Amino acid sequence: MARPVSEPAVSRLPDRETPGGVVVAVSRSPRHRFSKEPVDEVVLVEGSGVEGDAHAGPTVQHRSRKRWRPHLPNLRQVHLLHDELLDELRGRGFDVAPGGVGENVLTRGVDLLTLPTGARLGLGATAVVELTGLRNPCVQLDRFADGLMRAVLREEPDGTLARLAGVMAVVVAGGAVRPGDRVGVALPAGAWQPLRPV
């Protein structure tokens, strides 16, 4: 029997709402590995991240950062990636499946990279995440597939480097998230602050 698709938690989102998209896949890993396993459901925990994921916690969990500043807040509780990037990478010969590059939530129909810092995404019936910044591609991408790091970087006409490997977020309201759930988007009030690497 088909499970009904949850509407996004838009009632919990403030300010200006924009059209949303859909969750394509959700993934987690209890160990610090590059890739994560796709699952039927993840549970987001307020102030922590994805229940059962190695990167969950209120303070820094990324291994290289935890060594030097373990007391800092975890701005990378949830990694979101747009499925359109995987389409592009497959078209360039890369074999990348959901969870392959370590994302927790794979979306379609949301231009994640153009959203501002502080934008909120409603995922499923109750979960809400707030965007903190861009994922900064690292050499682990090339260990996964030769040339992948360069494929997720693009030089813009003004000489700046665009990072295409998704966005990072913190959980501001918990709940279950499943493939097929709608994604609601709300923009913060005030001046537009572009996403920067975190």
Kindly state the percentage of the chain with pLDDT values over 70: 88
Q: Where are the domains of the chain?
A: 10-132+167-187
Q: Decide which of 153 and 171 is more confident.
A: 171
Residue 2 scores a pLDDT above 60: no
pLDDT band at 68 (very low <50, low <70, confident <90, very high): confident
Query: What is the predicted pLDDT for the residue at 144?
Result: 86
Nearest CA to 185 out of 4, 13, 60 is that of: 13
pLDDT at 17: 55
Phi-psi region of 86 (alpha: psi -120 to 50; beta: other; left: phi over 0): alpha
pLDDT band at 6 (very low <50, low <70, confident <90, very high): very low
Mean pLDDT for the chain overall: 89
**Comparing C-alpha atoms, which of 182, 38, 16 is closest to residue 100?**
38
CA nearest neighbour of 129 among 86, 196, 79: 79
DSSP state for residue 41 in the 8-state scheme? -
**Whether pLDDT at 15 is above 50:** no
pTM: 0.88
Q: Measured in whole angstroms, how far is the alpha carbon of residue 66 from the centre of its chain?
A: 20
Q: What per-residue confidence (pLDDT) applies to 5?
A: 40
Cβ-count burial 72-111 (b if 16+ within 10 Å, e if not): eebbbbbbbbbbbbbeebeeeebebebbbbbbbbbbeebe
Confidence of residue 74 (pLDDT cuts 50, 70, 90): very high
Class of domain 10-132+167-187: mainly beta
**What is the phi-psi region of residue 180: left when phi exceeds 0, alpha when psi lies from -120 to 50, beta otherwise?**
left
Model confidence at 155, in pLDDT bands (50, 70, 90)?
Answer: confident
Decide if pLDDT at 26 tops 60.
yes
* Over residues 4-8, mean pLDDT: 43
